[in-house]
Structure 1
């Protein structure tokens, strides 16, 4: 790859990072990519001077009370206002602006995500153009050995180290086929027209099983390499032996179970219990049981959040709920949990048990290094309150155990009940 190409691809990656807004952002609203990876659109009646000088900090209410909705509405189009209101901002902790990579859940750049992005935005990285994308989806989904998949991928792109390819790249070698020494060794010749390939396909392939066909191609390639590196001339007994060995390896591969995706982290505690614990003590009896849940609608980005509080000593119940804008159901769930904690702490409770049906929320609280960037500030605020309490446990439960909170969250979302404190 040329240095010019490297520079252009590096620039493309850098210009597609964006900002996650902190507590008192000095960034200019009209110059940075901070609204879901985009620069927001101002209203037509906003002057260029204003658009160029508005800071993001000026769009926030004092004392970390959230977005200044009336100011947002005076500056931006209604759809942009809605998008901005879905962005989380710190409530209780001070956070600096973060430059994030928007194509991973964690916000951290990875080589895999960078390659994926470039392969869809530049021709030079696009090894699977639209006409061939179906072929590669089938190839990568085949239940065959990974080394066979890579071999077929290289064969498709003429990337095997045949002598014709090596000669084309500048190596001073003869391009004659090592197996037959008759014609130049191209991929087409080696696997279709060479005498050893013709004999192998006629003798061993009946057209009924793909693995047999791939095993023959693999045996031809291995036989050719034996000649190049070990001086052993390939013949049909050798090719057949290599083919049988490949098929045996294939069946051994099939006998192994398909590995299941690994979970984010192994949960602590006894089997069936997943919880995040905070506070000065690990053991204790809760004063308050809180069910929390969120209800989210993708088309409007409107979410209902709610909690049901059961007082242990008085055996009484209180309910709270309201509407917010959120970019995902996970954001709504996290905001419901934070709202319940703020509400409980303001009433003097210091031993709290919270029930949530969100596995991701609890695991993210346990492991900050893998937490989703979309709820990072909310998780930090939850941890901050939790550590101030004597005893706080957030427990993953089944949906039925938070059904009342779920029904209430649905009700407030459909009724558009506001929540000023959220």
Structure 2
């Protein structure tokens, strides 16, 4: 996608989870009803919020009553006047291309995030909500983001990096693995070890309504690379047991239509971060990441976010 570098997900001046969200929007991989039905998941096609139309990206972010109300009440609706609305990623690309004020960029992303969160409240928690409450949360979200630590250039600062001892005898390693429950959801595990093979971090991630094993493996690697960059790791060796994905990355082969977008992002991250390398290891040598991925798969998404994977893994090493 030909877009200015400053709106690329990992370069946008927004919190990391919003960078992932924005990337998913651009590449149409949010699990809307339309996307799930294309993957043969048996869900109702109608918008769960208004029931007026099929739930597409275009309807959810531009046409649904919640979307229209949030755009109007936020005072941002005029920014999108005259822009093409038949494809939402194109609409968003052109909108962000003309919005140069960082505060406005943050507000646009906050509107999208509120729309997505309110939709998920209805789908997963059965909650009802009103526009005034959503607007209060919108303004609170903006204030929360503005209060995050920033560097001298007024951009979001990186959180302090964990204490890592890396000497000439070894390299900091990030192992990763994915696990899939077909027709339901998927999860991934990432484990970071220092040069002495001591555990620094164990982290599980969860993906709802995603059951393509190669996509899951690639997304877990992308998440792991993003976490390492956000936490100041500049020299890393990423190890995984998915030979097909790793060979595509090493050969820069991004022709696979199913995972082309995420492969392009990963290849670009490796190209722009010379301290990052990747290699294939067998399942036996990747056992700890596999354990974390399987444990994450067994947990409900909310529990997955709260679970102490590091303490759990310590008890099994």
TM-score where L is the length of structure 1 = 0.37
TM-score where L is the length of structure 2 = 0.48
- Rg larger in 1 or in 2? 1
